[in-house]
C-alpha cells in the first residue's frame, strides 16, 4: 500500500472503533515522532499516530494495520537514546500515552500490574506511599514510561545491586502484529512452562509486539539510612582502579558512579561545583541495614587509591552529592548536541577502557568526556557536536561516527558489548552483526519472523533493512 | 533414516572424529538413558550415546546427526524430574559427562566459565575456596550438572532471595542442530544487543541447542552467621498464613520451607524426628549482616501465628534443622514410587492451595503430602504409588494423573503455573497448551523451528508430537 487513497481507508477503519481524538494525521502534530532523545531524526514524517486507551483498542489498531500491511511503531514517552521509537512516512505510531493506569497492587505478592504508558517516576511515587519501589532507574525515570523501560530493558544507576529491568518484570500482555493477544511470564516467583518469552520481549525494542500490560516485581523500601561517599582522585585511572577494587573486595554498593577528568571539568564549568584537588570523581552510595559498615570499609579502599574523601549519611548532603552525577548531561548539553554512547566492559577492564578512550581522543582530536556506571562497567563516552544545540536533532557528523565505531570495537575487544542499556535502534544497527556474528544475527531475524512474518512491528530497527534489489 | 544399515553409517561417521570410547551403542549400556528421576520410562532404548570432550566434538556430532536427520537428546546427570533428558530408539544421547572442567574464574568480574557437565556441588565446593558461590540450589545439587540446571532453569530453596538459575547466568555457548556455534548473553553486568537469547535458552530443556559452555554470575560468600528458625504449627493453614505474613511484613529470608501435616508424619515415621506439639513445620533461615535482627522479627511474626519456636545461630543445630527439610524426599521414597509435582501459586494464596489439595484428597481418596518453598509459593504435592519401589520407573497409574491434572488446574485458577522449577519434559506436555493458550503455544513452536527447522533437538519434549496422519 502506498497511495494516499488507500491510507484514507486505513484511517477510516481505525476511526471506526476509536474515539475521534485518538487518531491523528496532521503532519504538523506528527513531526515530533521523527525523533527521540538520541539526536537522530527520521527522514520523513510518520503518516499517523494513534492513542489507544485499552487492550481491545490496540488489538483493533493491529488488525487494521495487519490487514493493510501498515508498519506500526510502538512509542512511550520518546526519551530513548537509540532511535528505536521514531517513525517515517507509511508508518503509524502506536502511542501509549493514554494507557497510563496502575491496575492492581498486590503487596502480599510484591507485584503491581500497570498499563505501559505510566511514567516510571509516577509509579515509584505511588509505590513509596505503599512501602515499595520498582528498581529500574534510568536517568530518564521521571519522564520515561514503564513500557518504554521494558522495551529497552532499561538500566540506570542501581543495576549492579538491584538488577536491570529484565529482573524486575514478572509478566507481560502483548498484542502481536496480527492483533492477537498473548500473556507471557508468570505472576509467581518461579515458573518454567515453555520458553521464557517474557525475557525475550524485554529489550526487544518494539520489534516483536506491543506491550499493553505489565506485571512488575516490586521490593519493600530498603530499611535504614543510606550513606553516600564522594571521592576525588588524581587521575581517572586511580578512580577506575578504586572502583574495580571495591567490587573485588566483595562490596556491591547500591550506586557507584565515575566521572572522568573531562566530565569533571565540564560539570565545574556549568555548575561551579568544587571537586577538591582531584580531577576525577567517584560517587558511591550504600544502603540497607549494613550501610554504615559497608561505607566505612569502602572508604578505606578508596583512601588506599589516593582518594580525597567525603562521607555522609545526612540526606541533604547525600542528595547534593548524587546531584553532581545527575548534572552531568545538562552540563554537557550546554556545550552542544550530544551523541551519548553506551558500551559495557568487564569491570576489571574499566581502567583500560578509559586509557583506550584517551588514545582515541589523541588520534582523532575529538574530545570524549565519559561518565561510567562503575559498579557494572557501563561507560557512557559522550561526543559533543559543538555549534549545534542539543534538541536540534541534526545528523551526527560521520567523523564522529567513525570514532564511535572505534569505541565499539574497543568494547568488543575487551570482552564487552556495544550497548549496555540504551539499545540498538537505528543508531547501532550497523554494528550489531559484529557483536552477534552471522549465525546468531540470522537466527534473531528468524525469531522476529516467527512473531511477525510480514515485518510490520517497528521494521528497520535493531536489524538493518535488507538492501532493496 | 530408519534402517540399521544407515545407522551404522552414522556411528562410523561419529567415530571418525571421536575417541573410540566416546560412542556407545551397546543396548545394555543405553537402557539407563530411558529414565531420569521423574519416574517416567521411555518406550524404547536410545540408539547410541556419545561423550564429547570439546566444543568441536559436539559440533562434529551435530553435523553428522543433522546430515542424517538423527534426533539428539542432550543429557547431564539425568537427575531431572520431568522426563526431559530421556531417549528412545532412533535418538542419540549427547552426554556432557566428560565436559566437566572449570575453565576460568574471574573474581574481579564475579564470573566463572565452566563446561556444562560439571556438578553444581563440585563447582560450589571450588568456588567456596575462592570466597564465592553460585546460588542455584536444586535439591539435586550434589548430583546434578550446571548444564542441566541451566537447561531446566533450576530453582531450589534460595530463590526468593537469590533468584533462579536465569538470574545467575551471564552467557552461553550453544551448538545448534546443524553444528553451528553461537555465543549468547554478555560477560558484562548489562548488555542489550538484540534479543536476549541467553534467557530464552535457559529453561529450554535441550530443545533449541546443546549448551557447551556457560559463564556464570557468582556472588561473594555471604558475610556473617546465618540464623535458623524451626517452627511447628497446629495446622498447615497456620503455617501457610505465617509464611505469607513473613513476606507481607517485608522480609525475604534466604530460605523458607513448609512441610504439611502428612509430610511431617512421614518424616517422623522415617527419621524419628520430634516436631513438638504442632503437626506442620516451617523452616526459615536468615543470612547476611542483619541475620539476627531479621530472625528476631520473623520469630515474633511466627509466634503471633501459634508457632512453637526454635531459633539458633549454632551451625550444628542449624544443619540439623535444615536436614529435616532434606529428609523429606527420602522419607517419602521409603513408602513407594513418587510422582513429585511442582505447582507455583501467588504467595498470598498458599493457604488456599493447601486447602484445595486437602479437598482433592477427600474427593479422590489419594493422599497428597506436600512440601513447599514458601518464600516463593512453589508447592511440591507428592503422589506415592505404594507397592512400587522408587527407581523402578513404572508408569504412574492414570488415576493419579487425573488428580495431578486437577492440581494443575487449581494452580492455574489461583493465578499460578503448572511447573515452578521442574520443567515440562514429557510429563506435563499435555497440559502446556492450557497454560500458554493456543496463540502462544504455536508461537513457541515457531520459535523452536527458527532454531531447529528439522526438529532434531530433543523432539517430543515440552511440545507434544503432532499427531501422525
| Residue A321 confidence (pLDDT) | 94
Query: Which residue of chain B is at minimal alpha-carbon distance from A156?
Result: B190
Of A195, A204, A289, the CB nearest to B447: A195
Q: How far is B331 from chain A (nearest CA, A)?
A: 25
Indicate the helix (H) or strand (E) that contains B351.
helix B350-364
User: How many residue pairs bridge chain A and chain B with CB atoms within 8 Å of each other?
Assistant: 259
Mean pLDDT of A337-355: 95
Helix or strand run (H / E) with residue A62:
helix A55-68
B222 CB neighbours in chain A (<8 A) are none
Tell me whether residues B348 and A106 touch, CB distance under 8 A: yes
Question: How many whole angstroms from its chain centre is CA A46?
Answer: 23
Cβ-defined contact of B376 to A188 (cutoff 8 Å): yes
The residues with which A105 forms a beta bridge, in sequence order, are: A112
Closest CA to B141 of B121, B115, B164: B121
pLDDT in tens, A159-177: 989 999 999 999 999 999 9
Q: Is residue A260 very low, low, confident or very high in pLDDT (cuts 50, 70, 90)? A: very high
Å from B265 to nearest chain A CA?
Answer: 28
CB B136 within 8 A of CB B203: no
Has residue A390 got a pLDDT over 80? no
Is a pLDDT exceeding 60 seen at residue A50?
yes
Q: Which three cell numbers stand for residue B446?
A: 515457531
pLDDT tens digits, one per residue of B306-315: 999 999 999 9
H helix or E strand, kind and range, residue A183? strand A181-185
Binary contact (A250, B131; C-beta < 8 A):
yes
| Residue of B160, B190, B462 to mutate, interface with A, max A Cβ within 10 Å | B190
Q: B174: helix, coil or strand?
A: strand
pLDDT at B206: 98
Is the Cβ pair B176, A443 closer than 8 Å? yes
Residue A65: DSSP 8-state? H
**What domains, with CATH codes, occur in chain A?**
4-95 (3.30.43.10), 102-220 (3.30.465.10), 227-413 (3.40.462.10)
Q: Which of A424, A446, A447 shows the shortest C-beta gap to B193?
A: A424
Q: Indicate the burial class of A446 (C-beta count within 10 angstroms; 0-12, 13-18, 19 or more).
A: middle
pLDDT tens digits, A188-230: 989 999 999 999 999 999 999 999 999 999 999 998 899 999 9
Q: Which residues of A touch B422 (CB under 8 A)?
A: 192
The C-alpha torsion from A304 through A305 and A311 to A315, rounded to 10°, is: -140
Q: How many CA atoms lie within 13 A of A396 on its CB side?
A: 24
Q: What is the pLDDT of residues A93-146, one digit of tens each?
A: 999 999 999 999 999 999 999 999 999 999 999 999 999 999 999 999 999 999
A14-44 pLDDT per residue, tens = 999 999 999 999 999 999 999 999 888 899 9
Q: What is the pLDDT of residues B438-454, one digit of tens each?
A: 999 999 999 999 999 99
Q: Mean of the pLDDT values across residues A330-359?
A: 94
Identify the pLDDT of residue B4: 64
Instruction: Please tell me the distance from the alpha carbon of residue B206 to that of residue A118, in angstroms, as a whole number.
Output: 38
Question: Are residues A420 and B345, on separate chains, in Cβ contact within 8 Å?
Answer: no
Comparing CB atoms, the residue among B108, B202, B450 nearest residue A447 is B450
* Distance separating alpha carbons of residues A264 and A271, to the nearest angstrom: 10
What's the confidence (pLDDT) of residue B467? Answer: 58
Q: How far is B166 from chain A (nearest CA, A)?
A: 9
Whole-angstrom CA distances from B344 to A8, A171, B325 are 49, 14, 18
Which residues 6+ apart lie within 8 Å of A11 measured at CB? A23, A25, A48
pTM value? Answer: 0.96
Q: pLDDT tens, position by position, for chain B (469 residues)?
A: 455 668 999 999 999 999 999 999 999 999 999 999 988 889 999 999 999 999 999 999 999 999 999 999 999 999 999 999 999 999 999 999 999 999 999 999 999 999 999 999 999 999 999 999 999 999 999 999 999 999 999 999 999 899 999 999 999 999 999 999 999 999 998 999 999 999 999 999 999 999 999 999 999 999 889 999 999 999 999 999 999 999 999 999 999 999 999 999 999 999 999 998 889 999 999 999 899 999 999 999 999 999 999 999 999 999 999 999 989 999 999 999 899 999 999 999 999 999 999 999 999 999 999 999 999 999 999 999 887 776 666 778 889 999 999 999 999 999 999 999 999 999 999 999 999 999 999 999 999 999 999 999 999 999 987 655 4
Q: Give me the percent of chain A exceeding a pLDDT of 70.
A: 97
Q: How far apart are CA B431 and CA B464, in angstroms?
A: 10
Residues 6+ apart with CB under 8 A from A176: A62, A182, A208, A209, A451, A452, B439, B443
**Closest to B114 in 3D by CA, of B239, B10, B214:** B214
- A77 near A87, Cβ under 8 Å? no
Q: What is the pLDDT of residue B465?
A: 76
ipTM of the complex in this document: 0.95
By Cβ distance, the residue of A182, A289, A462 closest to B439 is A182
Cβ-based contacts of B418 with chain A (< 8 Å): 193
For residue A165, what is the DSSP state? G
What CA–CA distance (Å, rounded) separates B359 from A183?
30
Cβ contacts (< 8 Å) between B378 and chain A: which residues?
188-190
State the DSSP code for B278.
-
B436 and A194 within 8 Å at the Cβ level: the answer is: yes
Amino acid at each position: 500500500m502506498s497511495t494516499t487513497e488507500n491510507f484514507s481507508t486505513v484511517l477510516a477503519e481505525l476511526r471506526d472503533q476509536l474515539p475521534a481524538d485518538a487518531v491523528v494525521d496532521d503532519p504538523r502534530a506528527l513531526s515530533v515522532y521523527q525523533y527521540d532523545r538520541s539526536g537522530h531524526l527520521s527522514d520523513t514524517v510518520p503518516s499517523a499516530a494513534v492513542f489507544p486507551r485499552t487492550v481491545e483498542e490496540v488489538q483493533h489498531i493491529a488488525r487494521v494495520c495487519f490487514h493493510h500491511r501498515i508498519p506500526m511503531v510502538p512509542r512511550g514517552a520518546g526519551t530513548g537514546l537509540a532511535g528505536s521509537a521514531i517513525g517515517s512516512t507509511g508508518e503509524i505510531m502506536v502511542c501509549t500515552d493514554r494507557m497510563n493506569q496502575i491496575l492492581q497492587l498486590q503487596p502480599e505478592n510484591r507485584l503491581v500490574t500497570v498499563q505501559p504508558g505510566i511514567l516510571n517516576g509516577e509509579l515509584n511515587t505511588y509505590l513509596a506511599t505503599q512501602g515499595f519501589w520498582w528498581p529500574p532507574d534510568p536517568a530518564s525515570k521521571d519522564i520515561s514510561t514503564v513500557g518504554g523501560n521494558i522495551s529497552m530493558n532499561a538500566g540506570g544507576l542501581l543495576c549492579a545491586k538491584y538488577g536491570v529491568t529484565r529482573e524486575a518484570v514478572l509478566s507481560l500482555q502483548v498484542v502481536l502484529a496480527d492483533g492477537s493477544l498473548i500473556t507471557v511470564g508468570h505472576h509467581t516467583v518461579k515458573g518454567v512452562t515453555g520458553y521464557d518469552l517474557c525475557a525475550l520481549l524485554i529489550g526487544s525494542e518494539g520489534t516483536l509486539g506491543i506491550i499493553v500490560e505489565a506485571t512488575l516485581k516490586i521490593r519493600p523500601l530498603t530499611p535504614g539510612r543510606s550513606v553516600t561517599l564522594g571521592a576525588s582522585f588524581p587521575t581517572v585511572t586511580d578512580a577506575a582502579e578504586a572502583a574495580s577494587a571495591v567490587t573485588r573486595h566483595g562490596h556491591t554498593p547500591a550506586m557507584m558512579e565515575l566521572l572522568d577528568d573531562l566530565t569533571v571539568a565540564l560539570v565545574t564549568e556549568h555548575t561551579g561545583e568544587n571537586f577538591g584537588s582531584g580531577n576525577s570523581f567517584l560517587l558511591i552510595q550504600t544502603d540497607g541495614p549494613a550501610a554504615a559498615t559497608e561505607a566505612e570499609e569502602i572508604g578505606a579502599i578508596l583512601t588506599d587509591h589516593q582518594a580525597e574523601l567525603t562521607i555522609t549519611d545526612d540526606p541533604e548532603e547525600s542528595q547534593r552529592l548524587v546531584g553532581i552525577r545527575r548534572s552531568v548531561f545538562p552540563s554537557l548539553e550546554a556545550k552542544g548536541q550530544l551523541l551519548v554512547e553506551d558500551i559495557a566492559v568487564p569491570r576489571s577492564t574499566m581502567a583500560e577502557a578509559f586509557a583506550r578512550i584517551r588514545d582515541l581522543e589523541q588520534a582523532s582530536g575529538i574530545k570524549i568526556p565519559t561518565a561510567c556506571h562503575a559498579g557494572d562497567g557501563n561507560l557512557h563516552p559522550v561526543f559533543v557536536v559543538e555549534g549545534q544545540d542539543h534538541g536540534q536533532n541534526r545528523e551526527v557528523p560521520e567523523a564522529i561516527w567513525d570514532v564511535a565505531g572505534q569505541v565499539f570495537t574497543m568494547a568488543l575487544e575487551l570482552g564487552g558489548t556495544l550497548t549496555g542499556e540504551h539499545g540498538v535502534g537505528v543508531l547501532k544497527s550497523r554494528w550489531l552483526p559484529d557483536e552477534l556474528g552471522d549465525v546468531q544475527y540470522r537466527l534473531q531475524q528468524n525469531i522476529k519472523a516467527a512473531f511477525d512474518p510480514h515485518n510490520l512491528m517497528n521494521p528497520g530497527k535493531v536489524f538493518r533493512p535488507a538492501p532493496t534489489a
